Structure 1
Amino acid sequence: MSAVREALAEQGFGILTEIDVQTRLLEKLGHEMEDYLTFGACNPPLAHQAIEADRSIGLLLPCNVVVRTDGDRIAVQALDPGTMVTLTGRNALKSVAEEATLRLDSALSALTGGKE
């Protein structure tokens, strides 16, 4: 998990929230599952630009990143920031979404050594 945090930090993202889904489901429902974390990652300058373009964009922030066990490997996935543009129809968010996508893609690529 520290490698994910470091890769995100290299791209200017901090972790605002961390949800241990595995632990929560076990505590609340008695359901056992594989390791599953959800990070709320935020790049402050990009978040600021998005909020300036659309005050209600906070509903789609921060960028969600999931880290989970998938068989014998760890899967790291991020929601496509382009979703902000698709859901809102606000072209003013396009440049922010593109920059966030580049940064998230770079972080994910660093974790895989450039392999997908």
Structure 2
Amino acid sequence: MFDYTVSTNKNMDEAIQSLEEYLKEEKFGVIWRFDIKEKLQEKGLDFHKEFKVLEVCNPQEAQRVLNENEMAGYFLPCKIVVYDDHGKVKIGMPKPTALISLLNDVKLKQFAKDIENRLIGCIDKCI
């Protein structure tokens, strides 16, 4: 599977706040937050669904991966989305292992699996 997605009983703000806390525990920071609804409405488009994209990064892990293979930079930073799906808040991400598999690099797959497990752990704690 390409993605990992869960539902939470928290509202959007609570989900993002708890996600950021758990990410900090794993030494990941949110380096950018993109509010798709806000941006599309700013451009005059009719879009009313809450949908936020968080770009997250652990600098030490990014350095380690890029030192191994610079092509991995195409997949950085990691993205986690928090969105409303018919009244239910969902949190998800593309799996780092799915993305890195495109490079066909065994060592990077091991790095990606570690990152993936840590990010899934953060997401699961938000449920």
Q: TM-score, length-normalised on structure 1?
A: 0.89
Match in the other structure for 2:34: 19
Distance change >3 Å, CA 49–CA 22, structure 1 → 2: same
The corresponding residue for 2:72 is: 57
Instruction: Name the residue aligned to 2:9.
Output: none
- Secondary structure at 2:121's aligned position in 1? helix
Is 1:8 paired with 2:18? no
8 A Cα contact 2:28 2:58, kept in partner: yes
SS in 1 for 2:61: helix
Please point out which of 53, 59, 66 is paired with 1:38.
53
- Tell me which amino acid in the other structure corresponds to 1:7: Y
RMSD: 1.3
What secondary structure is seen at the aligned counterpart in 2 of 1:26? helix
- Count of equivalent residues: 112
Q: Secondary structure at the match of 2:91?
A: strand
- Unmatched 5+ stretches in structure 2: 1-15
Mapped partners of 2:96, 2:53: distance in 1: 16
- Residue 53 (structure 1) shift: 0.9
2:92 is aligned, of 70, 77, 87, to: 77
| Percentage identity across paired residues of the two chains | 24
Among 89, 108, 114, which residue is 1:99 paired with? 114
Of the three residues 78, 81, 94, the one matched with 1:66 is: 81
Instruction: Return the alpha-carbon distance in structure 2 between the equivalents of residues 83 and 33 of structure 1.
Output: 30
Any conservation in 1 of the 2:101–2:109 contact (CA below 8 Å)?
A: no
Runs of 4+ aligned structure 1 residues displaced above 2 Å come to none
Shift of 1:13: 0.9
Amino acid across the alignment from 1:12: K
- In the aligned structure 1, how far is the partner of 2:22 from the partner of 2:87? 21
